[in-house]
Every structure is written in C-alpha cells, then in structure tokens.
C-alpha cells in the first residue's frame, strides 16, 4: 500500500525568518509521489491552527506526516494529539527542526539555508514513508506507594503534596531525627538497590542491620546537598564558615556581615584541581555586588582557582572589580589554607603576584559545597544519570524541572544542586504532586520505540545483557535474548553492540536510517 | 571460546586488491561472541572497504554474509554458490573456518580476515584473557584450578620462579604471576601441601608437536554402512 504523506510547514519558523522560500519548499514536497497534501500553518504549536490541517488530512486519507517547525519537544504534544484524533499513529509523524537546525545556524545565508532545508525535507519524507505504526501498552501498577528518599525540606514537602493526591507516601530518612509528615516514616533507612521500572519498582531498603524489599510505583529523590556537615579542611578550621546560600540569607536579613568577607570556591581545595558548579559563580558575583552596595565599607575578597562567569556574568565580574571586590586566583600548588590556631587568617598563593597572601576575615563563605555522596550510590541503584557537578540530572530545566529522564523517578531540592529552603520547598511540592499524579493514574505506559530481538539470529552471547543500563535484555527460557519492554528506554545501545545484528530499535532500523542518510547525501551513496 | 581479532583494514584491502568480486563470510559462533567476525563486523568491514575504494576511486564488488558455524562443512555448503560465484572469499571466522572453506574448495582462494588468537574467557565486556593453550593433558586439579601452562610466561610446573615479585611476572609487570595466584587459591582451599609436591616433567606428546592432532570418538563415528545411507555427499 502506498504511503500517504502530509507535509506541514510552519510559517512561524519558515517565513518569519525571511530566510527560507516557502513556495520552493512546497514544490520540493510535491516532487515525492507519496506526498498527497502540503499545507502551511501559522504556528503549529497552537492546537487551534491545526483544525484545517486535520480536515485536509482526513480528506486526502493521509496516514503519516512530516512537520517542519521547531524542536520536537515544543510542538509534538499539540501535533501528535491532533493527528491521533485524525486517525494517524503518533509514531508516523516525523519532525524536522527547521528553526534550530537551519534558520539559526544559517542566519543571513539564504542559499545554504534553503538548500539544507530542502535536503532535510526530502530526507524526512524518505524516512516517513518507511515508518511503522507502533503502539503503547499499559500495565497495572502493583502499588500506590510513592517512596520519598530523604526527609529534609524538599522531602517533607514532597510527602505532603503526594499524600494530597491520594498516594501512599513512605518517607525514608537516613538519620533518626523526628519528623512531621503524612504517611509512613522510616527513620535510619536508606535505599541500597532498586529493580524494576516506573510504576513497578522494588527498592531494597536497609534500616540499620536489616534489609527488606519495598514496592514503589514512583520514587522522589530528595537527598539534599552535602553541606549539612561541611567537609574539607577549611570547614574544619573555621567553625562558623557558611555556604553562599546561607550567607545570602544573612545579607537579606539586613544585618551587616561580621568583619571582612572572604569567599572561597570550595571548603576542600588543598592540592586539587577544583571544579565547582557554573551557577556558583553567577551567584557569587551577584552576592558580592549586593554586599558591596549595601555595606560599601566591608572588605570583600573572592579566592578562586577557576572562575567561569559566562554571558552577562562577565559584566558582573567587571562591575564587582570596579566597586572594589578583590579577586585572588590560585592553583593547586598554592591552595588556600587556614591555620586552626589562627582561625581568622587565610593564606593563599596569589597566582598573578607569585606571593603568598595572608587575608584576615570575619566571615568565611564557600561559593560551592561538595555534592551529596549518596547521590552517586542512589543514581547507580535507580539507574538515573548525574550531572558532571555531582547532582542528579533532570529532564529539562524549563519543561520538566523535577523529573528525571527515567519515568516514575522525580527529583527535587538540593539533590539537583545547592539551593535555599524556600526553593527546595517549592520543588519538593512540585515533585510530590507529580509523583502522586503519576501513581494515581494506576497504569504505566510502555512500548513504542523499543528494542526488538530477532531470536533466530541471537547467539545468547550476553553482550546486550551486559551493556544495557536499564537491565532490559535478559536471556529467556528459549536461551535467546528477550527485551523487558517495560524497562526499555529505547536508547539503542544493545542494537549498536549486538555482534549478530539480532536487535533492532523499532522505527530506527538499518533500512530506515540508511535511506534517510542516503537522501541527506543527495541519494548518491 | 576461540578469540580472534580483525586484521587491520589496510592489510585486508591489500590482500583483496587484485580481485573484482569478493565474498566476505562471517561466523555466528565464537568470533561473533568475541565481537570479531559476526554479522555486524562483516557488514562494518564491507562498508569500510567500500568507503576506502570510493575514496581511492577503485571498483570492487563486495558481498557480506554469515553462516552458523564456519568450521562445519554442512553450514558452509549452504553458501557454496556465493563462494564459488566470487573471485575470492574473505573468511571472517577463526582460521578453522577459513581452512574449512579452503579444504572444501581447494581451487578457490580463501583468505583470512581475522587473526585467530587464544582460547579466552571474557573477563568483562571487551576484554578476553587466555586461560588454556590446549596442551591435551589437563592438570588444573593440582594447581587450584589455575592453568600454569597458559598463565605462566614460562609454563612452569613447579613455580614460582625467581622472577616473581610482588605478585607480578618479570616478563611483563602488567601480568599477574600465575604461581602467586595458584598459591593464594591453594591456601584458600586449605591444600597448600600441593605446592610443595614436585610435578615431574610434563608429557608434551599430547600437546602441539609432531604435526596436527586428531581427536577420535570411535563410538560416535558412522559405519561405512551408515555413511552409505546418507544422500548428501560433501
């Protein structure tokens, strides 16, 4: 049966830029025998604009589509919903990111932008023709448990919100401190292992000497930052040293700082290459400027190994220097030290002067603090990824700030990166509400773009089993690999490594990828 | 399993340079599992050779395929027309596979695409280590389950030698001294008395010497009568 493709061109991305020729793109689309409809729409992200497109889709009996607009993440919810209503499977809609891949990188270069847009359109049509409709399956969740790991500010807020949705909350706390939160509270307990997938996790909980399994439909990671006990020699030598966020709170309260202020990048700098989170520098510069403006007489020194102040922060750096903030750079051979016998003096070798400076201070502040070491163990157990800074990685800072890329696992508070109590609380509430809503759905969706084994080709060599980060492949009763579809995230690692080419990712088969690539290269390969 | 490694692309390209039509045949057994000659490696090699030819402006026809076990005639027979229809066959199996094809079609050229290496164990993904050399007379029950023939640089039967220091071998400081490992294992098993026992010189006649070795299982061999009943003549 012939594939019936509809090509949708978003005016917002194509015409507004004045870079691309809409008519020529329409002509390119019509060159393909499979394209039965080409429509231009004002902004595809607005569902209301899609009504005439869908009317045309039904009229022309369209069964698949190519959409030229901006990032798939921005537009796919509206577009996929509309097509689903028009009877088109969501996996048969192919997106081309014209804005970020053509318009933005080729500003002012009409010819190459047009050529690239046309090539990408041809490639997307060639791929769309080969796509297969895929279905999502559902499975009942075994429990309504939301397990919240960590009972700090964020964790308690998450428990309250999750409980309001009707989910059963279980709050795990590493210490034995007394807590007020709804649901079950397990003090002195930690997650040491996890199996399963969103909707049906089995967590291994260790409480003191005992270990037991706990079923969970969703998990909220609220492990906090590492600063509840500041580690490192500087923190040890100076008892009242504080992290930046706490100093900022002092500053907001209006009381003047205690004596000269020294801000060091980390409490543990000795003999090390220090790498702190980028945002720490934005916040440090913001804080010192405010400090200098409020209390101009305070002596402020920032001691750092490597400062990365991007974008407008560079101006902030200049402003800070202009209003009298001292910046002292050091390297691993001249790390800052505080002699515990003289807890008011910091010595550091200034890299520019080549001299050792003694800086007297009343307040010692750390721009950054080491991340919670539990995060790594937990990330291994839950198989979620981490940032280079040692925090938990989230879905998207704008769209899904408290989700992780793994369905059913949410994250909030300082497990992401150090933040204030107020922020941690808001994030905890958001994560709790999302986890509760996830659990109360009662079913998990899975499938779609997942790996599939051609068992005749499988040698049961275990390579996929060893490679998969999600424990999706296993060797089944037929002594051949099988994929636990619920666990499969569609990453394709097993597909790439399988020595017998026995595994394929649905809708990313060799044929589909090669056809698309060939078209991108002008069909001559 | 038998562990092999693909020859460098340049060497393979040079081998095949003067032949127009090339059939590349992989094997789905040991060499597939050790990521050297399965379907993926065959397809990757064919792609690499095509790209190389294109860059150099040469033309050759390549076809890649895999058989279940290239060391067995029945499986090779299944792709006979592909083999004989080409100018040369590049075997992506171990040398056993290459020689099976070579013996079956002696006039046809069959070249090796892999360097056959060791009897190895996957220590982790992508790492195989040698633990047996097929000497034909296994003694690991006396050495704590660790083979000194393959794992000791000197294949010593009564080790360690004077070159063992800090558990490392003097031949290569990266390599663990096999006899240090044997000592630890025997100690763990409470059988340290074995290390004091002198093992006399080994009977190497079962090992690789005096031409190729043939293993025969008389009771499994087909009789002349049974063979006659077979239709397929290989």
Q: How far apart are CA A63 and CA A84, in angstroms?
A: 11
Cβ <8 Å between B33 and A501: no
Chain A contact residues (CB < 8 Å to B): 457, 459, 461, 463, 466-467, 497-501
Is the same domain home to A11 and A90?
yes
The more confident residue out of A269 and A161 is A161
Three-state DSSP state, A93: strand
Domains contained in chain A, number? 4
Select from B208, B25, B17 the least CA-distant residue to B102. Answer: B25
Q: Is the CB of residue B43 less than 8 Å away from at least one CB of chain A? A: yes
Q: Are residues A28 and A118 in the same domain?
A: yes
Each residue's pLDDT tens digit, A238-297: 888 888 878 888 888 888 888 899 999 888 888 877 777 667 888 899 899 999 999 999
Q: Are residues A80 and A116 in the same domain?
A: yes
Q: Global pTM? A: 0.75
A273 and A212 part of one domain: no
The CA distance from B7 to the nearest CA of chain A, in Å, is 17
Residue at token pair 């050495």: B143
Gap between the Cα atoms of B22 and B87, Å rounded? 6
Q: Are A207 and A201 in contact (CB under 8 A)?
A: no
Picking from A466, A467, A499, the nearest residue to B32 by CB comes out as: A499
- Give tens-digit pLDDT for A323-367: 999 999 999 888 899 988 888 999 999 999 999 999 999 999 988
Q: From the candidates B75, B125, B128, which should be mutated to test the interface with A, based on the most A CB atoms within 10 A?
A: B125
CB neighbours of A369 closer than 8 A, spacing ≥ 6?
Answer: A225, A226, A227, A230, A243, A266, A267, A418
Chain A CB within 8 Å of residue B144 CB: no
> Looking at the domain assignment, is residue A123 inside a domain?
yes
Are A454 and A440 found together in one domain?
Answer: no
Does residue A515 belong to any structural domain of this protein?
no
Q: Is A489 inside any structural domain?
A: yes
Inside any domain, residue A518: no
| Closest residue in chain A to residue B41, using alpha carbons only | A499
Contacts of B40 in chain A (CB under 8 A): 498-501
User: Are A350 and A413 contained in the same domain?
Assistant: no
Domain span at A23: 5-134
Domains defined for chain B, CATH in brackets: 2-118 (3.40.50.2300), 137-229 (no CATH)
pLDDT tens per residue across span A106-133: 988 889 999 999 999 999 999 999 999 9
Query: Residue A409 sits in a domain of what CATH number?
Result: 3.50.50.60
CATH of the domain at A471: 3.30.70.20
Rg, chain A, Cα only: 28
* Same domain (yes/no): A379, A329: no
Listed residues A134, A155, A174: the one ending a domain: A134
CATH for A86? 3.40.50
Q: Do both A243 and A352 map to the same domain?
A: yes
Q: Which of A134, A166, A201 is the endpoint of a domain?
A: A134
For the range A305-310, what are the long-range contacts, defined as Cβ-Cβ under 8 Å and sequence gap of 24 or more? A305/A265, A305/A269, A305/A273, A305/A274, A305/A329, A305/A330, A305/A331, A305/A332, A306/A274, A306/A275, A307/A281, A308/A278, A308/A281, A309/A281, A309/A282, A309/A285, A310/A278, A310/A282
Inside any domain, residue A65: yes
A472 lies in some domain: yes
- CA B15/CA B115 separation, integer angstroms: 14
Shared domain for A352 and A234, answered yes or no, is yes
Nearest CA in chain B to A460: B33
**Is A53 within the bounds of a domain?**
yes
Tokens of A101: 């891949």
Complete DSSP assignment for A460-503? --SHHHHH-TT--EEE-TTSSEEE-TTT-----HHHHH-TT--E
Same structural domain for residues A342 and A234?
Answer: yes
- A284-297 in b/e burial notation, b at 16+ Cβ within 10 A? bbebbbebbeeeee
Residues A272 and A334 in one domain: yes
Q: Calculate mean pLDDT across residues B107-118.
A: 96
Out of A466, A467, A498, the one facing B40 most closely (by C-beta) is A498
Decide if A259 is inside a domain.
yes
Of A461, A467, A501, the CB nearest to B33: A461
pLDDT in tens, B58-92: 999 999 999 999 999 999 999 999 999 999 999 99
ipTM for the predicted complex: 0.85
Last residue of a domain, one of A335, A366, A397: A366
Domain shared by A88 and A179, yes or no:
no
């Amino acid at each position: 049966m012939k594939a019936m493709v509809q090509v949708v061109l978003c005016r917002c991305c194509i015409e507004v830029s004045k870079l691309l020729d809409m008519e020529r793109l329409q002509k390119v689309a019509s060159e393909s025998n499979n394209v039965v409809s080409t429509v231009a729409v004002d902004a595809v992200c607005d569902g209301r604009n899609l009504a005439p497109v869908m009317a045309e889709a039904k009229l022309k009996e369209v069964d698949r589509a190519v959409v030229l607009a901006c990032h798939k993440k921005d537009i796919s919810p509206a577009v996929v919903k509309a097509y689903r209503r028009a009877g088109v499977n969501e996996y048969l809609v192919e997106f081309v990111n014209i804005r970020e891949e053509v318009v933005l990188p080729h500003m002012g270069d009409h010819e190459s932008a047009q050529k690239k847009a046309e090539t990408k359109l041809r490639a997307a049509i060639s791929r769309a023709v080969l796509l297969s409709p895929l279905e999502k399956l559902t499975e009942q969740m075994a429990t309504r448990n939301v397990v919240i790991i960590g009972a700090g500010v964020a964790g308690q807020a998450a428990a309250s919100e999750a409980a309001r949705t009707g989910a059963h909350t279980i709050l795990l706390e590493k210490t034995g401190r007394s807590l007020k939160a709804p649901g079950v509270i397990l003090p002195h307990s930690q997650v040491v292992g996890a199996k399963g997938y969103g909707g049906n996790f089995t967590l291994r909980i260790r409480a003191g000497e005992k270990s037991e399994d706990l079923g969970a439909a969703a998990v909220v990671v609220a492990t906090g930052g590492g600063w509840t006990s500041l580690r490192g020699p500087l923190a040890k030598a100076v008892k009242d040293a504080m992290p930046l966020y706490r100093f900022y709170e002092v500053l907001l309260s209006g009381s003047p700082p205690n004596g000269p202020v020294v801000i060091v990048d980390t409490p543990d700098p000795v003999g090390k290459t220090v790498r702190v989170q980028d945002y720490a520098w934005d916040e440090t510069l913001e804080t010192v400027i405010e400090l200098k403006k409020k209390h101009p007489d305070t002596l402020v020194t920032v001691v750092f190994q490597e400062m990365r102040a991007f974008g407008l922060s560079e101006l902030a750096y200049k402003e800070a220097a202009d209003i009298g903030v001292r910046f002292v750079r050091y390297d691993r051979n001249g790390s800052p030290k505080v002699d515990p016998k003289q807890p008011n003096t910091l010595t550091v070798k200034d890299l520019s002067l080549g001299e050792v400076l003694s800086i007297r201070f009343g307040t010692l502040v750390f721009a950054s603090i080491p991340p919670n070491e539990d995060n790594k163990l937990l990330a291994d157990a839950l198989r979620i990824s981490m940032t280079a800074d040692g925090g938990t990685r989230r879905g998207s800072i704008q769209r899904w700030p408290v989700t992780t890329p793994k369905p059913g696992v949410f994250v909030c508070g300082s497990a992401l990166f150090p933040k204030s109590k107020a922020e941690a609380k808001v994030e905890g509430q958001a994560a709790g509400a999302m986890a509760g809503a996830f659990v109360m759905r009662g079913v998990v969706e899975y499938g779609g773009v997942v790996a599939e084994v051609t068992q005749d080709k499988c040698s049961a060599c275990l390579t996929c089993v060893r490679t998969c980060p999600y424990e999706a492949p296993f060797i089944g009763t037929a002594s051949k690999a099988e994929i636990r579809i619920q666990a499969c995230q569609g990453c394709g690692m097993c597909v790439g490594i399988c020595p017998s080419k026995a595994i394929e990712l649905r809708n990313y088969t060799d044929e589909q990828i090669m056809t698309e690539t060939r078209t991108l290269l002008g069909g001559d390969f | 399993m038998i562990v092999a490694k693909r020859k460098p692309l340049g060497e393979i390209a040079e081998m095949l340079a003067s032949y127009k039509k090339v059939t590349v045949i992989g094997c789905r057994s040991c060499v597939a599992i050790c990521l050297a000659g399965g379907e993926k490696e065959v397809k990757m090699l064919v792609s690499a050779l095509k790209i190389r030819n294109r860059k150099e402006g040469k033309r050759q026809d390549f076809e890649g395929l895999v058989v279940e076990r290239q060391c067995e005639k029945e499986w090779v027979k299944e792709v006979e027309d592909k083999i004989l229809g080409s100018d040369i066959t590049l075997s992506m199996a171990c040398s056993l596979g290459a020689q099976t094809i070579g013996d079956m079609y002696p006039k046809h050229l069959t070249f090796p695409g892999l360097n056959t290496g060791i009897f190895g164990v996957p220590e982790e993904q992508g790492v195989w280590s040698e633990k047996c050399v097929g000497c034909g007379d296994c003694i690991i029950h006396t050495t704590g389950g660790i083979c000194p023939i393959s794992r000791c640089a000197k294949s010593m039967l009564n080790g360690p030698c004077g070159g063992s220091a800090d558990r490392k071998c003097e031949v290569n400081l990266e390599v663990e001294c096999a006899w240090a490992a044997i000592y630890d294992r025997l100690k763990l098993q409470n059988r340290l008395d074995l290390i004091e026992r002198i093992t006399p010189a080994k009977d190497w006649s079962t090992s690789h010497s005096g031409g190729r070795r043939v293993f025969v299982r008389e009771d499994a061999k087909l009789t002349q009568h049974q063979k006659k009943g077979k239709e397929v003549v290989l």
